[in-house]
Amino acid sequence: MIELRRSEERGHANHGWLDSYHSFSFADYYDPKHMGFGPLRVINEDRVDGGEGFGAHGHRDMEIISYVLDGELAHKDNMGNGSVIRPGDVQRMSAGRGIMHSEFNHARDKRTHFLQIWIEPNQFGIEPGYEEKRFEESAKRGRLCLIASPDGGKGSVTIHQDAKVFAGLFDGEERAALEVASGRRIYVHVARGNISVNGIALSAGDAAKAVDETRIELTQGNAAEVIVFDLPA
């Protein structure tokens, strides 16, 4: 069974410097029907104006993945990490028993467009951690590239949950398929462009929630960038 979540159905908050769409309940947006999907708790599509950002704030017991679509995002935390991530970079922060960090777009002439993803961990109170990896366009072109996993396989970042996250780029005849193990659920988020999921047309911001499906097929991409989550029930 596949249930669709269209882009316009998401929560929306415009703070002037920050324009954000929430796939699941977050901050002032609350919808009891959309509190998460398995351990997937947050997908926020954020656009941050130049010279703006999120000041120092704290998190606990959450696996936080940042995926930049356009622009750049500067990160600093109280573990001593400081970096700038750009399209192709994947950043993972394990908040564990507590972490403080900030995120800023220092390029005053360009907006930053990124996804912030939260996955609930299967271990609580762990030592906070940070990791980032780069995935070139060629690794995602016409395929599903593993970007996050519980064991760091295939060069992915390591998350503390029995979940895998894939990213792919699809255009024209490019296609990919994912075999789904029994008892797993799949969440497909279209970051941009258009694509069909098991024959169902989706556009940027749309999502497909798949339960009791044995195979997910991605076809008919048009400048599509897709994030796919393989999750426990």
Domains of the chain: 2-232 (2.60.120.10)
Diameter of the chain by CA atoms? Answer: 48
Q: Which tens digit of pLDDT belongs to each residue from 70-126? A: 999 999 999 999 999 999 999 999 999 999 999 999 998 999 999 999 999 999 999
Q: Which tens digit of pLDDT belongs to each residue from 127-162? A: 999 999 999 999 999 999 999 999 999 999 999 999
Q: Which tens digit of pLDDT belongs to each residue from 38-57? A: 999 999 999 999 999 999 99
What integer pLDDT is reported at residue 233 of this predicted model? 85
Q: Which tens digit of pLDDT belongs to each residue from 183-231? A: 999 999 999 999 999 999 999 999 999 999 999 999 999 999 999 999 9
Instruction: Confirm if 215 and 180 have CB atoms less than 8 A apart.
Output: yes
This prediction has a pTM of: 0.97
Name beta bridge partners: 57. 101
Nearest one of 126, 4, 120, 118 to 66, comparing CA atoms: 118
Instruction: Confirm if 61 and 121 have CB atoms less than 8 A apart.
Output: yes
What integer pLDDT is reported at residue 169 of this predicted model? 98
Distance (Å) of CA 164 to CA 48, 116, 119, 134: 27, 16, 11, 17
